[in-house]
A = this chain, B = another copy of it.
């Protein structure tokens, strides 16, 4: 990438062996140059406006099984949490870089993508004028949502960049965190995307569609390196960084969150269970006891979003983080890194 040739921050040489190998073992995103330019410009605008900024990653990542991809492994995530969180922070004055899986849920639009709805769900038809129009039932809701969506995009407060594969995702995660790192403590990294833990390197991948011969199939996958470590120690060491732990087994959730904090030395791990991630989450931070955010019975019944409750708590934590800069010139995260 010509953008990166003279930029030491993008050099693969100084990276851990497994990370450099990963980046070399996945295809470069084909629209990277355009998106990189947008991200750079967005970071400049955030700096100029002195606005707080949040990078939200959202949706699952796919892992191709063949070079000529017919089959792929995917991670379940509709992207609802990321999209709802983007709304909250937009409405509370933040700039939002929304890094999302193609065709997953997006802020504001998500309210119109429930169940088996589609574009036509919201239209009515006037046969005399031969005209489709937004039906009276939805007119107010659609107008409200569209107006917000349009104003945040037009004003440059919301930038959307999409990915599909785990390789594309990790290229854009690197670009976003490095370019936004100039915002220092004014930035939150909200890593809600369900990133695959495993992938197949290009050189181990079948060229063509794997043939079925009425036999079974065995797929061998390599581990995806944990890039959160690099985000925290190298790419955006001053940011307030939040990661997620999604589990299906409640008995291991807290321990997994703590292990994550101890491994990456970031600010917050939000734990949740697949079965009821919409009803409660738990905040694990290095310094405080675990904090639970739970919807009331009534809120569950009313299908109230939990994301504004998460957002409010996070915004408070971020304000405290911004108001209390580190005592030493070397910041807290760097200290942690150096201990490793």
Which A residues have a C-beta under 8 Å from some C-beta of B? 62, 65-66, 68-76, 102-103, 106, 108-109, 112, 116, 118-120, 122-123, 125, 127, 130-134, 139, 142-143, 146-147, 149-150, 162, 194, 196-198, 207-209, 212, 214-223, 226, 246-249, 274-275
Contact = CB atoms under 8 A, between A and B. Distances in A.
A277 to B, nearest CB: 11
Nearest to A247: B209
A191 to B, nearest CB: 16
B116 A109 contact: no
Nearest to A197: B212
Given A71-B73, A75-B71, A221-B217, A118 B125 contact: no
B217 A198 contact: yes
A62 to B, nearest CB: 7
A104 to B, nearest CB: 10
Nearest to A143: B132
Contacts of A122: 119
Contacts of A194: 70
Nearest to A226: B214
- One complex includes copies of this chain to the number of 2
A120 B132 contact: no
A65 B196 CA distance: 13
A119 B216 CA distance: 42
A21 to B, nearest CB: 13
B102 A125 contact: no
Given A119-B119, A120-B150, A216-B220, A66 B198 contact: no
19 contacts: A70-B194, A72-B76, A102-B116, A109-B118, A116-B162, A127-B147, A132-B142, A133-B133, A134-B134, A197-B212, A198-B212, A207-B248, A208-B248, A209-B247, A209-B248, A212-B223, A216-B223, A218-B219, A218-B220
A242 B151 CA distance: 49
A214 B222 CA distance: 9
- A120, A131, A142: most-surrounded residue (chain B CB, <10 A): A120
A130 B112 CA distance: 18
Contacts of A73: 65, 71-74
A-B pairs with lowest CB-CB distance, top 5? A197-B212, A68-B248, A132-B143, A132-B146, A208-B248
A216 B222 contact: yes
B119 A109 contact: yes
A248 B212 contact: no
B103 A130 contact: no
A142 to B, nearest CB: 5
A226 to B, nearest CB: 8
Nearest to A115: B102
A223 to B, nearest CB: 5
Contacts of A72: 73-74, 76
Contacts of A226: 214
Contact of A106 (B118, B134, B196, B217): B118
Nearest to A127: B147
Given A132-B143, A198-B212, A198-B217, 15 more contacts: A62-B74, A69-B76, A70-B76, A102-B116, A106-B118, A119-B119, A120-B146, A123-B142, A132-B139, A198-B216, A209-B247, A212-B223, A217-B221, A217-B223, A218-B218
